[in-house]
A = this chain, B = another copy of it.
Amino acid sequence: MDEDLNRTVSAFRKVVATLKRGKTHERLTEAAGVRLDRPDVEILVHLLDADEPRRIGAIAEGLQVESPHVTRHVAALEQRALVERVRDPDDGRAWRIALTEEGAEVAGRCRQVTSQWFESALADWPAADRAELTRLMEKLSDDVSAHLKSLR
């Protein structure tokens, strides 16, 4: 029981370590034809996944970081015309961060390159295993978040 969990945790840790290494990010962004740091890419892909403009605070919450961090990177992305500020439809006085056309393209390429990378890594996997991985990873994600909240 416990032993199984230790193994799961170890394996998870190893995947994280592998993907965290400097060269992995470098290689992926190069393949996507962009020069952006990790947080930049995370924000862009987050906006693409959200599929609508989001406020700074919402982005920060989604990525589980503090807002000053988002502010800084959004400012940089705005300067490069990858995002822009638009009026919040629900609250006329507030702003949301939207992908520009170019930003959406770039985000799409980044996301696709990542998926493709996994696609090749899992090339030999039977469809059933892939489906199970998706199901279990989403379940894990939900339950880990829920558990964390319950501890507050």
Contact = CB atoms under 8 A, between A and B. Distances in A.
Interface of A: 1-2, 4-21, 24, 27, 42, 49, 63-65, 111-112, 114-115, 117-122, 124-125, 129-134, 136-141, 143-148, 151
Contacts of A146: 121
A138 B118 CA distance: 15
A147 B125 CA distance: 13
Contacts of A119: 1-2, 5
A120 B147 contact: yes
Contacts of A18: 64, 141, 144-145, 148
Nearest to A121: B147
A6 B138 CA distance: 11
B140 A133 contact: yes
Contact of A16 (B8, B16, B111): B16
Contacts of A4: 130-131, 134
25 contacts: A2-B115, A5-B122, A5-B134, A6-B111, A7-B137, A7-B138, A8-B133, A8-B134, A9-B118, A11-B134, A11-B138, A14-B141, A16-B16, A17-B63, A18-B64, A18-B145, A24-B148, A121-B143, A121-B144, A121-B146, A122-B140, A124-B143, A125-B139, A132-B132, A136-B136
